[in-house]
Structure 1
């Protein structure tokens, strides 16, 4: 699978929460897009990632 343009190791039965935990990201501070579709935060736990998926994780950063 690709995450933010880079090939990464695929682990079967990984959901979006598992992926975010791998990168120490808080689900409340990101948007996840898989294969050009934004995934609703309510689906993160039940969405199983496939080996062929192309994933973009957009992290919100506060500032002023």
Structure 2
């Protein structure tokens, strides 16, 4: 299915947000996620199902000073 990940269309076979993070080889503990503009808590990623055309935002924390 085609998902919009951080503004870029990508074909990914991932039924859930947790599966998507695994497929992208991202450490789920250090990213923030949103689906269609709604924040998804880490505990809810496994049950957050994805559908064709969903917009996914994956953000990593930044350090600086």
Higher relative contact order (CA 8 A, sep 6+): 1
Equivalent residue number for residue 16 of structure 1: 17
Structure 2 unmatched runs, 5+ = none
The number of residues matched between the two structures is 63
Answer whether contact 1:10 1:51 (CA < 8 A) is retained.
Answer: no
1:44 counterpart residue number: 45
Q: In 1, are the aligned partners of 2:12 and 2:20 still within 8 Å (CA)?
A: no
* Shift, 1:10, TM fit: 3.8
For residues 28 and 63 of structure 1, the distance between their equivalents in structure 2, rounded to whole angstroms, comes to: 20
Runs of 4+ in 1 over 6 A off after TM superposition: none
Secondary structure at the residue paired with 1:44?
helix
In structure 1, runs of 5+ residues without a counterpart are none
State the alpha-carbon separation in 2 of the partners of residues 63 and 23 from structure 1: 26
Give RMSD over aligned pairs. 1.6
